[in-house]
């Protein structure tokens, strides 16, 4: 067993219980004649590093035909995140942001329409003009309204497909496209908008990956060039990633004002207390510095995203870290990646908890927002008419939030479009 270094991105804080229910052959580890088996390696890793190792159940791997099922049954009841995975696929994603697909993700709106919630720059559908907010009407001549979620996923799993999309004006576009190897851009949108005499920086950020370092530096250098005065940070779908990149983003936001001060504190299980450490803000050459930040969140805002929010509060003050949207996911814990190259196996258990400089953490129920408002799927990122962004702009210009109408209040009928396997980690098809 080899502990994954992943260069300087060794601490991975990942959203979702990713591969545990995956049905893809690549992600199932059946029994074989190779003992020391995956089961023994899983046992050793969990007993030594699992944050809740004192609560591991007394079960026998001999009763399991799949390592995935066995690993799932080892987990504590409050653990929604630990997983095992195909090592090659995992490293390709976290090191380079690469995966094979169409390069977009979906979510049902309150009318049960399936809308594009995000789309990457290299998506073959983006090249045809599809943006966040378009409705997927049909796929492969099958109406979306006639399909259940599993059937939609089956169609999206095909290597090529014919799609009909519709925009808010009722205009439809038919596109035939094929899946491709994509380099995911983690900065979905960066711009500076003059609004009522104030230069407002807007950053939609999707994942904390290795490639994010350069993308974030470019974004904050741009904000400096445009003399931005306020920052709206859109993390509504950001499920996490590298804590190193989390530190970078927090340092960029605060303009290196707290370089060397405690950003986070990491604690392990009782047998690994010698591994506990604190992480300081690291100086960033592109740091700009904002006095406050508006953060757009949903239940998909998790892990490293929550770490940024929690880590900034002791320094900027809770009144200057303003959350808009809905309560975050609630994951104040993180993981290490343990590699078993001979089996192409990655074991990624919850291994530590995270608190800020004031020892605040434990937000398993999520971090609450200052203004609760629904995820506006009908507008693209950075559109000033998008309700979440518009609420931040209203606060910047008026000093208070707008009155939320019933149509924009938090809707309980919106639901995520659930994916499986690697696509659940990437949050895109």
pLDDT, tens digit, 9 for 90 and up, residues 200-240: 999 999 999 888 999 999 999 999 999 999 999 999 999 98
Per-residue model confidence (pLDDT) at position 333 = 94
Q: Are residues 322 and 213 in the same domain?
A: yes
Q: Rounded mean pLDDT of the chain?
A: 87
Q: 281: domain CATH number?
A: 3.90.226.10
Give the contacts of 377 (CB within 8 A, at least 6 positions apart). 107, 109, 115, 117, 132, 133, 414
Higher pLDDT residue, 414 or 326?
A: 326
- d(CA 133, CA 135) in angstroms, rounded, equals 6
Q: pLDDT band at 12, cuts 50/70/90? A: very low
Per-residue model confidence (pLDDT) at position 408 = 52
Domain count, the chain: 3
Which helix (H) or strand (E) covers residue 99, if one does?
strand 98-101
Determine the average pLDDT of the residues in 345-357.
Answer: 94
Q: Are residues 55 and 174 in the same domain?
A: no
Per-residue model confidence (pLDDT) at position 24 = 32
Q: Are residues 148 and 78 in the same domain?
A: no
Q: Are residues 112 and 218 in the same domain?
A: no
pLDDT tens digits, 412-427? 445 565 544 444 555 6
pTM: predicted TM-score of the whole model, two decimal places: 0.87
Q: Look at residue 348 and tell me if it is in a domain.
A: no
Q: 132: domain CATH number?
A: 2.30.42.10
**Exposed e or buried b per residue across 370-397, where buried means at least 16 C-beta atoms within 10 angstroms of its C-beta:** bbebbbbbbbbbbbeebbbbbbbbbbbe
User: Residue 257 in 3-state DSSP?
Assistant: coil
Q: Are residues 176 and 259 in the same domain?
A: no
Q: Are residues 151 and 280 in the same domain?
A: no
User: Residue 359 in 3-state DSSP?
Assistant: coil
Six-digit token string for 232: 């709206």
289 pLDDT exceeds 90?
A: yes
Q: Look at residue 368 and tell me if it is in a domain.
A: yes
Q: Are residues 251 and 371 in the same domain?
A: yes
Q: Look at residue 338 and tell me if it is in a domain.
A: no
Determine what percent of the chain is predicted with pLDDT higher than 70: 85
Q: Are residues 52 and 148 in the same domain?
A: no
Give, rounded to a whole angstrom, the gap between the first and last alpha carbons of the chain: 32
Domain that holds residue 253: 187-332+353-398
382 pLDDT exceeds 60?
A: yes
Per-residue model confidence (pLDDT) at position 89 = 82
């Amino acid at each position: 067993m080899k502990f994954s270094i992943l260069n300087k991105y060794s601490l991975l804080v990942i959203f979702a219980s990713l591969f545990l229910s995956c049905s893809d052959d690549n992600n199932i580890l059946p029994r074989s004649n190779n003992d020391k088996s995956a089961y023994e390696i899983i046992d050793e890793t969990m007993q030594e590093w699992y944050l809740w190792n004192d609560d591991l159940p007394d079960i026998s791997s001999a009763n399991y035909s799949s390592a995935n099922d066995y690993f799932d049954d080892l987990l504590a009841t409050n653990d929604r995140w630990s997983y095992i995975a195909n090592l090659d696929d995992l490293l390709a994603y976290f090191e380079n942001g690469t995966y094979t697909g169409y390069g977009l993700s979906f979510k049902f709106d309150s009318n049960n329409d399936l809308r594009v919630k995000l789309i990457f720059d290299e998506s073959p559908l983006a090249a045809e003009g599809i943006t966040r907010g378009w409705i997927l009407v049909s796929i492969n001549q099958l109406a979306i309204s006639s399909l259940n979620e599993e059937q939609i996923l089956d169609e999206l799993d095909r290597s090529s497909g014919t799609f009909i999309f519709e925009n808010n004006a009722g205009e439809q576009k038919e596109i035939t496209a094929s899946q491709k190897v994509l380099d995911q851009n983690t900065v979905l949108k960066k711009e500076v908008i003059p609004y009522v005499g104030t230069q407002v920086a807007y950053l939609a950020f999707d994942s904390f990956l290795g490639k994010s370092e350069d993308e974030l530096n470019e974004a904050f250098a741009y904000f400096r060039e445009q003399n931005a005065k306020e920052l709206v940070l859109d993390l509504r779908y950001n499920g996490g990633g590298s804590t190193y990149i989390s530190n970078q983003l927090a340092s960029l936001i605060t303009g290196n004002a707290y370089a060397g001060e405690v950003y986070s504190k990491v604690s392990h299980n009782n047998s690994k207390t010698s591994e506990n450490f604190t992480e300081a803000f690291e100086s960033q050459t592109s740091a700009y510095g904002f006095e406050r930040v508006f953060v757009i969140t949903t239940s998909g805002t998790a892990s490293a995203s929550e770490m940024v929010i929690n880590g900034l509060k002791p320094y900027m003050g809770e009144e200057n870290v303003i959350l808009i949207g809905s309560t975050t996911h609630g994951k104040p814990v993180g993981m290490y990646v343990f590699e078993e190259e001979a089996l192409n196996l990655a074991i990624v258990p919850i291994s530590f908890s995270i608190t800020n400089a004031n020892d605040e953490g434990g937000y398993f129920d999520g971090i609450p927002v200052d203004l609760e408002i629904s995820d506006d799927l009908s507008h693209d990122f950075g559109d000033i008419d998008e309700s979440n962004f518009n609420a931040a702009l209203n606060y910047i210009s008026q000093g208070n939030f707008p009155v939320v109408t019933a149509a924009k209040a938090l809707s309980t009928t919106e639901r995520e479009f659930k994916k499986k396997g690697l696509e659940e980690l990437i949050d895109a098809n």
